[in-house]
Structure 1
Amino acid sequence: MTMPVLELREVSRRYDDGPPALHEASLTVRPGEAVAILGPSGSGKSTLLNLIAGLDRPDTGTVTVDGVRVDKLGEAGSALYRRSKIGMVFQFFNLLDDLTVTDNVVLPARLAGTARREAERRAAELLELLGIDRHARARPGRLSGGERQRVAVARALMNRPALLLADEPTGALDTAAGQDVSRLLSGLNADGQTIVVVTHDLALARSCTNRTVQIADGRIIEDVRSQAVASQAVR
């Protein structure tokens, strides 16, 4: 069987003297899956995301992404891991407004040591794929919310990550732009990209993933696979 892209085994994380933010969570995501992590505020979604991203470490258990033991990485190793193994899409885009769209997308590749010309070629391919190549020289502040999120997705895909993490990717968008981003994620998954979406929005989960994992009080309480989401064009 194909090696999982993501594997958590009995992962727990507690902060201060409160109850566990995450308690003995186990989760396996295989190549090509699109998984939604669902739960209300305070359920443990953000803790789970931070552990997968290497931004935090579990107290117990293991986190493995594309063969890398994320829970054992130091600060430098975690930074390298985030550049090479995962792409991250955030609710509020996190784009640099003083850089052009192209320069925002190129940035992860340049940090990884990719030559400028090669990075710009890859960025041009992604911007065309995501239907925003006409904005290559624009500043992000001049774009709509949906367009800025497409730029953020392009940046996240720049280094061909094994896993794309999306944290409330439609939370700052209106309904139409949110549906556009949902179709985008579904199309990327149809092309083989493994995706984990962290959200409280059940409609988003149903529209762009084929598996939902429910978290409550730090525990995974449900893991349900649905029929595969129909393939949709990225544009």
Structure 2
Amino acid sequence: MTTPLIELRDVTRRYDAGPPALLDVTLTVAPGEAVAVLGPSGSGKSTLLNLIAGLDRPDEGTVTVDGVRVDGLGESGAARYRRAGVGMVFQFFNLLDDLTVADNVALPAQLAGTGRREAARRAAELLDSLGIAAQASAYPGRLSGGERQRVAVARALMNRPALLLADEPTGALDSASGADVARLLQELNADGQTLVLVTHDHDLARACTRRTVHLADGRITADVTTEAVR
């Protein structure tokens, strides 16, 4: 039996006196799997992502990712865990406008202690593989939304993370750019990248994953796997 890459056990997270953001959630994700987390606003999707990323801690239960007890990490340990093991892609790109595309992509490696030359080599390799090598010396403000999201994906992959987390990655894109990013996520998963995708978009979930986890009021209400299309 394959050891899960992600394992949440009996996780509850409360923020105030109201209903919990997550309640008694148990979830496993296998290495190489692509999972979409669906649900309305306030269902707990972002809380789930933040717990997996080590940006938040549960009040109860455990969060383990790639053998690391994420819920037990301190602030500096959580930062190291994210640099080494998790790539994150956001709706609004979060690129640094005063750095070139190549420097944006190389930045996580440099923060992790990789030398400038090796970081630049890896950045160039990623930009080429994602089809945006021609934009390496451009600044993010000169790019289309789809191009900026490709840069964000390249940056997320810079340190070869075991896990890629994508939070509404097509939410700020037009339909053509969104379809382009969806194909990119499909290709990455086909190459073995583990993916957890948080989205409101059922079409994006169907395009990128075969498994959907539905959240409502902090609970998992459905966990559905469909057969691969042959």
Structure 1 runs of 4+ with >3 Å offset: none
Distance 1:88 1:227 in 2: 27
| Kept after mapping to 2: 8 A contact 1:32/1:189 | yes
Q: What residue in structure 1 maps to residue 113 of structure 2?
A: 113
SS of the residue corresponding to residue 215 of structure 2 reads strand
Aligned to 1:197, the other structure's residue is in SS state strand
Q: Is the 8 A contact 1:207 1:229 kept in 2?
A: no
Cα distance, 1:158 vs. partner? 0.3
Structure 1 contact 209–229 (Cα < 8 Å) conserved: no
Give distance in 2, aligned partners of 1:208 and 1:229: 12
Aligned equivalents of 2:28 and 2:114: distance in 1? Answer: 31
- What secondary structure, in the 3-state scheme, does the structure 1 residue paired with 2:192 have? coil
Relative to the length of structure 2, the TM-score reads 0.99
Q: Is the counterpart of residue 52 in structure 1 residue 52 in structure 2?
A: yes
Q: Distance in 2 between matches of 1:2 and 1:154?
A: 28
**1:184 paired residue number:** 184
Structure 1 residues 199 and 4: alpha-carbon distance in aligned structure 2, compared to 1, 3 A threshold: same
Say yes or no: does 1:209 pair with 2:214. no
- Secondary structure at the aligned position of 2:10 is classed as strand
Indicate the RMSD between aligned Cα atoms, in angstroms. 0.8
Q: Is 2:34 the counterpart of 1:34?
A: yes
User: How many residue pairs get matched?
Assistant: 230
For structure 2, list consecutive stretches of 5 or more residues without a partner in the other structure: none
Deviations 1:193-217, CA, capped at 9 Å, x for gaps: 0000001110000001110000000
Summarize the Cα distance change of 1:29–1:120 in structure 2 as closer, same or farther, 3 Å threshold.
same
How big is each residue's C-alpha offset from its partner over 1:41-74, in whole Å with a ceiling of 9 and x where there is no partner?
Answer: 0000011011111111000000011110000000
Please name the residue that 1:88 is paired with: 88
Distance 1:8 1:70 in 2: 10
- C-alpha distance in 1, partners of 2:226/2:48? 22
Shift of 1:134: 0.3
Measure how far apart 1:229 and its partner are: 6.0
Judged with a 3 Å threshold, the aligned counterparts in structure 2 of structure 1 residues 100 and 44 are, in CA distance, closer, same or farther, namely same
SS in 2 for 1:49: helix
Partner residue, 2:100: 100
Residues 1-235 of structure 1: matches in 2 within 5 Å? Answer: 1-228=1-228
1:228 to partner: Cα distance: 2.8
Q: Which amino acid aligns with 1:34?
A: A
| Residue identity matched to 1:58 | P
Identity of aligned residues (%): 77
Q: For the residues of structure 1 that align with 2:54 and 2:171, how far apart are their CA atoms?
A: 23
Preserved contact between residue 86 and residue 163 of structure 1 (Cα < 8 Å): yes
Q: Structure 1: which 5+ residue stretches go unaligned?
A: 231-235
Q: Which residue is 1:233 aligned to?
A: none
Asked if the contact 1:186–1:229 (Cα under 8 Å) also holds between the matched residues in 2, the reply is no
- Secondary structure of the residue that 1:62 maps to in structure 2? strand
Q: Deviations over 1:69-93 (max 9, x none)?
A: 0000000001000000100000000
**Equivalent pair of 1:210/1:229 in contact (CA under 8 Å):** no
**TM-score (structure 1 length as normaliser):** 0.96
